Structure 1
Amino acid sequence: MSGKPRLTYLNGRGRMEPIRWLLAAAGVEFEEVYLETKEQYDKLIKDGFLLFQQVPLVEIDGMKMVQTRAIMSYIAGKYNLYGKDLKERALIDMYVEGISDLMQMILMFPFSPPDAKEKNIESIKERATNRYFPVFEKVLKQHGQDFLVGNKFSWADVQLIEAILAVEEKVPDVLSGFPQLQVFKSKMSNMPTIKKFLQPGSPRKPPPDAHYVETVLKIFKK
């Protein structure tokens, strides 16, 4: 095995996508193993790879890490994306948790019944425009910097640009009332590591399709 982090998950976004984003933003190359059958997943559990019988699994620095938040905290700390002190880290944690709440709605969207999809898109739009994006619009305006915390690129910035692009896939004009976030999106999208990740052929996954949903349900059925 090479020295690259090794990611085990399905060939889709899910709970691994923010980890892919964070590694890519840090300029770290990684390998991926895709789960395609329930037998592969059961073998990981049997072999003791999954502490809580859940993926994502990231093998890094000799560890077999599970739990998305723990994995991302480690990556952010390792690659200097976690603030310069405890206060900055606390801000990053708050922002990341808020963004994660919004992303949970997007994560579950592909699994909603067809007749509920329009209503769920409206819910995502309402939550993004009334609860989450106003917070970050205000932070950027008051802070007066290109980044959410301090004057340095952090995990929070990565999570926010991922969330903006994910919401825009459902609601293309969602940033129309948020000029600061429009500028933020443009600057983040042109950072070299993120720009590379947004190019075709990168490890970034497309929006979930019917095959992905079917595979998730097949692998994780009880």
Structure 2
Amino acid sequence: MAQATVHLLRHGEVHNPDRVLYGRLPGYHLSELGHRMAERVAEHFVAERDAGAQIVGIAASPLLRAQETARPTAEALGLELEEEPRIIEAENRFEGMSRIKEQLRNPRIWPMLANPCRPSWGEPYRDQVARVMEAVQDHRGRAVELGGSGAETILVAHQLPIWVTRLAAENRRLWHDPRRRQCSLASITSLDFDDEKLVGVRYAEPCADLLADAANLPGA
């Protein structure tokens, strides 16, 4: 059996003073704190490599915040940064809105809330899992081709697609309270495989000490 690990890395904090649910909107850069998180993550993976990890690839969502988070790690490990559209942020009909809690009081948007299990306001959770896991399996296979058994690769993505992928991996229901996601800024959700079979899920927060200063908007 060929063992491999795919690390799903969430992007760092975004400069978003108006607290917009930015979704797939272009132009949202990392904040100063977000850049510090990206550098910290790079240090984390360099330490892992120096301890023997065979990290052979890195790819990121096309969105700017994911690309900026990935770049320091790619440079530190001497890897070419690839773009992976299948791990982009989820579609969301609230995209572009600010003050979401206030918006939810507006009866005109209540029809969007009809089915939180799907969810009715955006891309179905199952569709997100399907596209992310397709990407995960492709990059897992490529990692093994490049590095052999034990190879690792990194995919830089977004909170919701990462979280529902983890829920599916752990055979848990996909609908959930966004405030209870264990997927903090610049966190790492690691999927361990024997060949194509998922055998373990691990979670790490290399930037845990920086989170107290972060503006962590649910759903972002």
Say yes or no: TM over 0.5: no
Q: Scaled by the length of structure 2, what TM-score is found?
A: 0.41
Name the structure with the higher strand share: 2
